[in-house]
Chain A
Amino acid sequence: MTAAIQFVIDVLSLGGAYALMALGLVIVYGILRLVNFAYGELIMAAGYTLYLVSASPLPWLVMAVLAVGAAVVTGIATDYVAFRPVRAKSVTAVLITSFAFSTLLQNAAQLLISPRPRSIPLPEMFSDTVTLFGVVTPARNLITIAAAAVLLTLFTLAMRRTVLGIAMRAAATHFTMARMLGVPANLVISTAFAISGLLAGTVALLWLGRIGTVVPRVGLEPLLIAFIATVIGGMRSLEGAVLGGFLLAFIDTALNYSLPQDLLKFRDAFTFSLVILILLWRPAGLVRGPATGQRT
C-alpha cells in the first residue's frame, strides 16, 4: 500500500512539473504552429537570475519572483528576436532562428557567467521531508503538486474568463479570422510568449530545486520533456499537453520502477521511440485540437 502511495505521489509531482513545461511550449505552438527551441533557455534564465541575486539580502520569495520575471522577459525577447522578424517567411526559418537563439543564450551564459555549475539559493522547506500516510516524501514533491494544481486552475480560468484568454483561444483556432475580427495579432503572440515564460519560470524553481545548481545546458532536459509530452498529448490542445505531461510522468516512473538497471540507461531512447511511434499513428497527438490555424 505504501508503495502504491509512493508511486502516486511520484507520478503526480513529476507529472505536475512535466505538465507545466508542456503547457508553456504548447501555448506558443497552439497559436503560431511553430516550435520554440529556445524554450529550455527560459528555465536557464530563471536559474541564473536566482544565482545572480543570491548574494543580496532579499527574502527568497522576492528572488523567486525576480527569477520568474526574468523568464517572462526572456520569453518576450524570444518573440522579438527569433520569431517576429521571420514569422511570415517559412516554418524552417523560424525553427532555425529559435535554435540559434537557444545556442546564443546558452553560450552567452557560458561566456558571461561560467560553463561550470553554479549553486542557487533554495528555501529550507525544499529540503524538508514530510510523512504522509506512512510514506516519507520530500516536501518539494508536495509543493510541486500544489503549485501545478494552482497554476493549472488559474490558467484554465484565465483562458476561459478573460478577454485576452478568449482572444488567444480564438487566435489558436483560426488566426486569420481572429485578426479580421479585431484581435491584435502581435499582442496575442507576445502574451503567449509571456505566459510561456511565466510557466517556465515557475517550473525552473521547482525543477532546479531538485538539482540545486544551474549550468548553461540545464534547459535541454526540460525542452525534451516538453517535446515528448506535447507530442503524446496533442500539439494543438492545451488539455492534451497537460494530459501528455502526466502520461509521460507515469511512463517514466513506471519504467524507473520496473526496468532492470542495464536497460534503464536506455530509457530516453525508449521514450523518444514512443514519440516517433505516436507521431506516426496520430500526427496530431492523442487529443486533437481545433481544426486548423494559419500563421501570418
Chain B
Amino acid sequence: MSARDLLTLLLLVGSVALLAVAAEFLEVRLFVRIVTNLFIMLVLVLGLQVFMGNSGILSFAHVGFMGVGAYTTAVLTIPVRMKGMALPDLYPLVAGLELSPLAGILIGGLVAALVAAVIAYPLMRLSDAAAVITLFALLVVLHTIMLHWSAVTNGPRTLFGLPRATDLRLAAVAAALAVALALLFKESRIGLLLRSSRDDEVAAAALGARVPVLRWQAFVLAAFMAGIGGALWAHFITSFSPKAFYLKESFVILAMLVIGGPGTVTGAVAGTYIVTLAFESLRALEAYLNRAQIFAEQVVGLTEVVLALAMIGVLVLRPGGLVATREIGTWLLRRKPDKGDPP
C-alpha cells in the first residue's frame, strides 16, 4: 500500500472512529441510533462501491443480498423458545439452532456470498443495459422468494424476535473494516484490472483481463458485505419484513453512492455521511409537519423527492459524484506544480 492509500485509510477510519467516540460521549439516544444506522449503511454502500465503482455496472441486486444476510441470521439466532411463535413452520433441522448473533452475522455474510457466487457466475458476461436488467430481475426474484417462502421468512408479514446485538461499537468496527476492505480491493490486482475493464472493456480484455471472472470476484465480495450489512441491520432493528429489501432501500443506498461518487471509497463514505444528514433532517421535518398538522393529509415522500432531485442534479453537474476520481489521501498528497513544469 502506498503512502497515499495509507493516508486515505487513516483519514476515513479516523472519521468513523471520531463519529463513534462523539456518539459514545454525547449519550443522546437519538444520536447514537442515527450513528449506528449510519455505520450499517456505510457497510452496505461500500459493498455496492466494491462492485459498482470498480466494474461500472449498476447493481440492483445488492439489497437482495442484504435481505439474504438478514434472514439467514434471523433463522440462526432467534431464541428457540421464540421460534415457535415467530417462525412456526421452520424446518426442524434449524428450528433447534440458536447461535450467537456474531456467528449469525458472519454466516449471514457467507450465505449471501455463496448465493451470489452460484447465481452471478453466468451473469457477469453481460454488460451495459442487459446486465442492469438482469440484476434488476435478480432483485425481483430474490424479493419474490423472501415474500413467499413463509417457512423461513414468515412471508410478507413482519419477522420478529431477533436478539438486539448491534450496538454502536460493533457497527463502528464493521464500518472501519468495510472501509479497509473496499480500499484494499480497489488497489489490489483484481481491483486494478477490473477498473481498467470499466474504462474500456474491449481494451482490457485484449490485454488479457478475464473480465467476467474479475466482475464475479467483485460481485461476491460485494454480496458478502451486503449480507454482513443486512445481518447487522437485522440485529439493530430486530423486526422487519421483506419490504425492507426492495426498491426504496435500493434507492437510498444508490443515492448515497451516486451523490458521493461511485468511483472512490472516499466518495462512498462522504456520500453516506451527507445523505444520512440530509435524510435525517428531512425525516425530522416531515415528522414535525405531521405533528403540527399543517396539512390535512400526512406528509410522506418529501425526503425521497429531495433525494431524487439531488441525485439528478449531481449526475447532471458532476457525473462522477462529489469525489469522482481522487481519494482523499491522493488529493492531499498531490504534487504541487513546480514553476519549471510544462503547463
Please measure, in the bound complex, the distance between the C-alpha atom of A91 and the C-alpha atom of B57, giving whole angstroms.
9
Q: How far is the CB of B179 from chain A (nearest CB, A)?
A: 23
Q: How far is the CB of B51 from chain A (nearest CB, A)?
A: 12
Q: How many interface residues does A have (CB within 8 Å)? A: 47
Please measure, in the bound complex, the distance between the C-alpha atom of A103 and the C-alpha atom of B148, giving whole angstroms.
25
Query: Contact partner of A34 among B129, B130, B255, CB < 8 A?
Result: B129
Q: Is the interface of B mostly helix, strand, loop or mixed?
A: helix
A33-B129 contact given A103-B304, A265-B148, CB 8 Å threshold: yes
**Is B132 in contact with A95, judged by CB distance below 8 angstroms?**
yes
Please measure, in the bound complex, the distance between the C-alpha atom of A34 and the C-alpha atom of B303, giving whole angstroms.
27
Interface-facing stretch out of A14-22, A129-137, A189-197, A272-280: A272-280
Neighbouring B residues of A103 by C-beta, 8 Å: 247, 251, 304, 307-308
Question: Which A residue sits closest to B262, measured CB to CB?
Answer: A92
Q: Is the interface of A mostly helix, strand, loop or mixed?
A: helix
For residue A290, CB closer than 8 A to chain B, the reply is no
**Is A35 in contact with B132, judged by CB distance below 8 angstroms?**
yes
Neighbouring B residues of A34 by C-beta, 8 Å: 129
**Is A227 in contact with B133, judged by CB distance below 8 angstroms?**
yes
A107-B58 contact given A86-B315, A266-B144, A280-B122, CB 8 Å threshold: no
Residue of A81, A95, A115 with highest tally of chain B CB at under 10 A: A95
What 1/0 mask marks residues of chain B from 284 to 301 whose CB sits below 8 Å from any chain A CB?
000000000000011111
Neighbouring A residues of B247 by C-beta, 8 Å: 103, 220
For residue B21, CB closer than 8 A to chain A, the reply is no
For residue B137, CB closer than 8 A to chain A, the reply is yes
Neighbouring B residues of A275 by C-beta, 8 Å: 133-134, 137
**Is B130 in contact with A29, judged by CB distance below 8 angstroms?**
no
Neighbouring A residues of B251 by C-beta, 8 Å: 99-100, 103
What 1/0 mask marks residues of chain A from 82 to 118 whose CB sits below 8 Å from any chain B CB?
1001100111110111011101101111110011000
* Residue contacts A-B, CB under 8 angstroms, 10 given: A35-B132, A90-B319, A97-B311, A100-B312, A104-B312, A216-B301, A227-B133, A231-B133, A272-B144, A280-B122
User: Given A100-B311, A100-B312, A224-B140, 20 more contacts at CB 8 Å?
Assistant: A35-B129, A35-B133, A81-B312, A92-B56, A95-B129, A96-B258, A99-B254, A100-B308, A101-B308, A101-B312, A104-B308, A107-B301, A110-B301, A111-B299, A220-B247, A231-B133, A266-B145, A269-B148, A275-B137, A276-B138
Q: Which 6 A-B pairs have the closest CB atoms?
A: A107-B301, A110-B301, A104-B308, A107-B304, A269-B144, A100-B311
